[in-house]
Amino acid sequence: MKAAVLKAFGSPLAIEEVPDPVIGTGEAIVDVAAAPVLPYTDEVLSGARRYLLPPPVIPGCGAIGRVSVVGPDATKLKVGDWVFCDPTVRSRDDAAMPDIVLQGWSARGDGGQRLQQYHRHGAFAERVRVPTENAIRIGAIAEAEAGHWCALNTLLVPYGGLLAANLRAGETLLVSGATGHFGSAAVAVGLAMGAACIVAPGRNEAALVDLVRRFGARIRPVTLTGDEATDRARMVAAAPGPIDCVLDILPPSADATVVRASVMSVRPYGQVVLMGGVGMLGGDDLALPYPWIMRNDVTMRGKWMYPPDAVGRMAGLVRAGLLRLDAYAVTAFPLDEASAAVAHAAAHGGPFRLTVLRPDGTARSPSLPA
């Protein structure tokens, strides 16, 4: 099969013929219809993100495709099923504390690296092998829709955080990082889950205006000034009442003061979920006052990715019309142009934009109207 191979960090992706994946028990092989190219893929492949992804490797974080082979222990998955290839692979020998690897992307800890030795190659290829439970059925779709269904890869991340926060219909949510690729997805998901209002802080005023255009008066934009006290006061004032939940999903380049201003806008007894990358690449870590957390009875938790059942639940939100995948403008590249796709994703990674690889050779696909 044809695949895009990372030979060394910082080198262009090499398009090569590689052996087809061989199935084992508890696995499926999927023909890749579309694979998302995340906006920071260039940072991963250059080594700037310091992800544990030892080359040579076929990168790629998730895919939409059709099952071509199933293992002998599959009871519902069938050849021909349309599936989301969930890159979040969990070890099976400790249900309480599974090691996790993002297939074709990153690993954490010694256990994750051991898991990665087997579940190594990602979806920048014509076919990908995944654990059976990671080939998650999404129902029938048209071939041309595969690129838009790659939006699940982005939407699922904040969905995992909002599920962890137990966000309830009618609550007020603040999304820290609302103008970014994942933050704008958090806005869409929060509204689909029934948030009455979303406070959306950011420095990109055009992106804030666009969020209001897309979603209306339920969005309360806040232009950040860079002064922590001022920004926190603006966030609190923008909300129609107490802020029930804060989701931070800012990237590693963000300043910790921005995150702290958002977090400390939450009401007493509120929920805070941290999903971003502050401190990941050095710089100041997030420092929060112990007395403030304790006396206000604030619940704080970290969350990496999403629970296994989230994919089916999110597909249900899409099928119900609560989440519109056609809000995303999709640009598709053939596999032979993988390096060009990576560059395009880096340059066009704003809200509601997707770059995808189409191993079937489909050239740049027309975008549906936003």
On the question of pLDDT at 366 being above 70, the answer is: no
223 bridge partner residues: 202
Q: Residue range 158-182: average pLDDT?
A: 97
Assigned domain for 51 exists: yes
Asked if 117 and 134 count as a contact pair (C-beta separation under 8 A), the reply is no
Q: Is the dihedral of CA 84, 45, 306, 171 positive or negative?
A: negative
Q: pLDDT digit string (tens) for 86-100? A: 999 999 998 899 999
Domain tally for the chain? 2
Q: What is the pLDDT of residue 361?
A: 67
Q: Are residues 6 and 143 in the same domain?
A: yes
Closest listed residue to residue 304, CA positions, set 244, 246, 249, 257:
249
Q: pLDDT digit string (tens) for 57-86? A: 999 999 999 999 999 989 999 999 999 999
Residues 6+ apart with CB under 8 A from 42: 48, 342, 343, 345, 346
Assigned domain for 126 exists: yes
On the question of pLDDT at 278 being above 90, the answer is: no
Q: What is the mean pLDDT of the chain?
A: 94
- DSSP letter string, 306-360: --TTHHHHHHHHHHTTSS-GGGSEEEEEEGGGHHHHHHHHHHS-STTEEEEEETT
Q: Residue range 127-148: average pLDDT?
A: 97
How large is the angle between the packed helices 256-263 and 228-238, nearest 10 degrees?
40
Assigned domain for 308 exists: no
* 3-state secondary structure (DSSP) of residue 259: helix
Q: Are residues 142 and 167 in the same domain?
A: no
Q: Are residues 294 and 261 in the same domain?
A: yes
Asked if 333 and 356 count as a contact pair (C-beta separation under 8 A), the reply is yes
The pTM is what?
A: 0.92
Tracing tokens 């989230």 back to the chain, one arrives at 310
CA-to-CA dists, residue 352 to 65, 171, 181, 188, 335, angstroms: 21, 24, 7, 10, 22
Kindly provide the residue ranges of all beta strands, DSSP E only, lying in 158-265, ordered along the sequence: 172-176, 197-202, 219-223, 243-248
On the question of pLDDT at 184 being above 70, the answer is: yes
Q: Are residues 6 and 28 in the same domain?
A: yes
On the question of pLDDT at 206 being above 60, the answer is: yes
CA distance linking residue 164 with residue 24, whole number of Å: 33
Assigned domain for 117 exists: yes
Q: Residue range 267-291: average pLDDT?
A: 91
Q: What is the pLDDT of residue 285?
A: 85
**Sheet strands side by side (includes 266-274):** 219-223, 197-202, 172-176, 243-248, 266-274, 299-302
Q: Are residues 212 and 126 in the same domain?
A: no
Q: Are residues 40 and 110 in the same domain?
A: yes
- The DSSP call for residue 21 is P
Q: What is the pLDDT of residue 67?
A: 98
Q: Are residues 88 and 182 in the same domain?
A: no
Q: Are residues 35 and 124 in the same domain?
A: yes
Assigned domain for 141 exists: yes
Q: Are residues 165 and 217 in the same domain?
A: yes
CA 188 to chain CA mean position, Å: 13
Q: What is the pLDDT of residue 362?
A: 63
Assigned domain for 310 exists: no
Q: Residue range 32-41: average pLDDT?
A: 97
Assigned domain for 365 exists: no
On the question of pLDDT at 369 being above 70, the answer is: no
Residue 87, domain CATH: 3.90.180.10
Q: Are residues 145 and 45 in the same domain?
A: yes
Asked if 13 and 124 count as a contact pair (C-beta separation under 8 A), the reply is yes
Q: Are residues 38 and 62 in the same domain?
A: yes
Asked if 317 and 306 count as a contact pair (C-beta separation under 8 A), the reply is no
- Residue type (1 letter), 137: R
- The DSSP call for residue 97 is S
Asked if 91 and 99 count as a contact pair (C-beta separation under 8 A), the reply is yes
How large is the angle between the packed helices 181-192 and 205-215, nearest 10 degrees?
20
Q: pLDDT digit string (tens) for 41-52? A: 999 999 998 888
Q: What is the pLDDT of residue 29?
A: 98
Q: Residue range 273-285: average pLDDT?
A: 86
Residue 217, domain CATH: 3.40.50.720
* Domain region containing 281: 161-302
How large is the angle between the packed helices 181-192 and 152-164, nearest 10 degrees?
60
Between the two ends of the chain, the Cα-to-Cα distance in Å is 35
Name the phi and psi angles at 134, rounded to 5: -95, -5
Asked if 304 and 276 count as a contact pair (C-beta separation under 8 A), the reply is no
Q: pLDDT digit string (tens) for 236-252? A: 999 999 999 999 999 88
Question: Considering the chain, what percentage of its residues have pLDDT values greater than 70?
Answer: 97
Q: Are residues 126 and 166 in the same domain?
A: no
Assigned domain for 323 exists: no
CA distance linking residue 222 with residue 242, whole number of Å: 16
